């Protein structure tokens, strides 16, 4: 009985430590991009704004030496917030779609439809984490495109910061 109990305790500790190690090793890293929405954008029509994204974790960009060490990159979070004017309500948007661009390829990573007119200066987007984004993040230059439809007009150009969070796992040896 003592052997069975000892075996169960050791097994429990082992399984718990593996899960803890996996959560420590998994990495979440952010990318940000500033997009300009011109005041001349008309309501009810789809427009696009594109910008290069940057990350504070440069090790995960194509210019780093360890990009081969990550895999299974997926979306973890997406948010846009007004930068200038910072008090601008994002309720001016009717809908927002955010894409990652890599050369001629693109993938939809986040969106929000039916944005409330009473939204504040930041807006959390619905993410699509069903796709692996390794090829986009490892490419070196990550570009973000935001397609948007305005439900009310702007008096001045709006600068919006898109914050995209990614999860990754370390590459395992075969």
* Domain parsing of the chain, residue ranges: 27-170
| 159 contacts 36 by C-beta, under 8 angstroms | yes
- Please give the mean pLDDT across all residues of the chain: 82
CATH class of 27-170: mainly beta
Q: Is the pTM of this model over 0.75?
A: yes
Q: Give backbone dihedrals phi and psi of 135, rounded to 5 degrees, phi first.
A: -60, -30
| 134 contacts 100 by C-beta, under 8 angstroms | no
- At 65 the pLDDT is 40
Q: Give backbone dihedrals phi and psi of 9, rounded to 5 degrees, phi first.
A: -65, -45
- At 35 the pLDDT is 96
- At 24 the pLDDT is 43
- At 100 the pLDDT is 93
Q: Is 16 helix (H, G, I), strand (E, B) or coil?
A: helix
Residues of the chain with pLDDT under 50: 17-25, 59-62, 64-65
- At 160 the pLDDT is 97
- At 138 the pLDDT is 76
Bond from prior residue into 63 cis (ω within 30 degrees of 0): no
- What is the C-alpha separation between 138 and 173, in angstroms, rounded? 18
- At 43 the pLDDT is 94
């Amino acid at each position: 009985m003592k052997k069975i109990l000892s075996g169960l305790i050791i097994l429990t500790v082992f399984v718990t430590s593996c899960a803890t190690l996996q959560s420590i090793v998994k990495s979440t890293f952010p990318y940000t991009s500033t997009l300009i929405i011109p005041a001349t954008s008309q309501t009810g029509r789809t427009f696009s704004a594109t910008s290069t994204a940057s990350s504070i974790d440069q090790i995960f960009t194509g210019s780093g030496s360890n990009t081969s060490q990550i895999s299974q990159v997926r979306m973890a979070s997406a948010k846009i917030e007004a930068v200038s004017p910072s008090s601008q309500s994002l309720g001016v948007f009717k809908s927002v779609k955010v894409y990652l661009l890599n050369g001629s390829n693109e993938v939809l990573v986040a969106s929000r439809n039916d944005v409330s007119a009473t939204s504040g200066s930041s807006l959390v987007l619905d993410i699509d984490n069903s796709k692996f984004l390794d090829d986009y993040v490892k490419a070196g230059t990550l570009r973000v495109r935001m397609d948007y439809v305005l439900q009310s007009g702007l008096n001045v150009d709006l600068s919006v910061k898109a914050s995209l969070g990614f999860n990754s796992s370390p590459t395992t040896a075969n």
